A = this chain, B = another copy of it.
């Protein structure tokens, strides 16, 4: 039986460990689950209450289990004890410096500082920084070399050496859970899905609190057979994984059941609420979904992720005022995110301003080429309104589609930035930066 307090302590320690390794996206996910755990009434402080209030009624309202067990916890084996941090006295100072370079996004410098350090922690940060330096370069090249077909063959040039080093360490067993996670990411990018899965399974079995590792693993579970074949240890993090994996495999009832179960402890998790809303959306329960998103936005008013889905619902329901409010809100929060552009596109589409709608959907696609749902929206928008100009854009859209070698490969890279890379907006800035640099080349040389 895992108690709330035990979950809380596990997550607190995990956040420190993940942040220490610059796995910020995983730390953020963990942080959201941490504050999603219902407080014991005895520990309520006014501020904690305020943070969690508001949502409970809604969450209970859509609970399909009539009597949730708020404090019972999970009936599963005791949680894996949190691994002890190694003694890092010797290379501690260099690690502090490397991490500070990493935090200032100087990846090669971070990696260089740790070149002679032998601890697992240093090894991970050195390799991870090198990997990100390679990704950064790859993204720059992709955009600089982007031809009329909108793609390029840019690759992360660090992958070969990283695979060589990590596989050698794996053979000798001198690799920890974080190294195994990175090895899995590298293998996946090299196209070795089966070995990647094995490495990621080993990583989550030895350290289940790294959501980025679970996300990578999920992206490699493209069928229920693959999912069932994984040999995963029991842990409450596995339930989160299954909830998400089932959803991707469109097994919405199974997914909802997992989330219902998890709400026994994580009653106030915004993540679970958004995931539940997504499943309900797929089941076309638009009224429920709308209420859930309203609630989510009340609790987390500067949230942008998943709000594109909410805008789809408002569009379908022709809720113009609410859609206008949402568009305004996300535009102020961060207008350079693809979700924001999608929401604004939906708003203009509903207002009948189709050229503007197409413009914003195209922007969303420029910001994130793997934004599948926006590709559909754009296609539909173009189809609906086939003026001469829009017909041209339809043609352009077709080119975008045809030029994508494989949605799966691209989507893998997207997942990397979303879940692994830890800096959710990085790619957008990077994309804009490089694209603009190319434009600058163009305007200053012509």
Contacts and interface: CB of A to CB of B under 8 A. Distances in A.
Interface in A232-253: none
A410 to B, nearest CB: 21
B302 A19 contact: no
A100 B100 CA distance: 16
Nearest to A430: B429
Contacts of A97: 28, 31-32, 34-35
B51 A15 contact: no
Nearest to A16: B96
A103 B433 contact: no
A324 interface: no
A19 B99 CA distance: 10
A205 interface: no
Contact of A428 (B302, B425, B433, B444): B433
A394 interface: no
Contacts of A104: 24-25, 28, 422-425
A93 interface: yes
B432 A109 contact: no
Contacts of A8: 93
A445 to B, nearest CB: 7
Nearest to A104: B424
Nearest to A421: B104
A308 to B, nearest CB: 16
B47 A105 contact: no
Contact of A440 (B92, B94, B366, B425): B366
A104 B437 CA distance: 24
Contacts of A112: 300-302
A401 interface: no
Interface of A: 8, 12, 15, 19, 24-25, 27-28, 30-32, 34-35, 45-48, 50-51, 90-94, 96-97, 99-101, 103-106, 108-109, 112-113, 116-118, 140, 300-303, 333-336, 359, 362-363, 366, 422-425, 428-430, 432-437, 439-440, 444-445
29 contacts: A12-B93, A12-B96, A27-B100, A27-B103, A28-B101, A31-B93, A32-B97, A34-B96, A47-B94, A48-B90, A48-B94, A103-B103, A103-B423, A104-B422, A104-B424, A105-B423, A105-B424, A106-B302, A106-B424, A109-B303, A112-B301, A112-B302, A140-B335, A359-B445, A363-B440, A428-B433, A429-B432, A432-B436, A436-B439
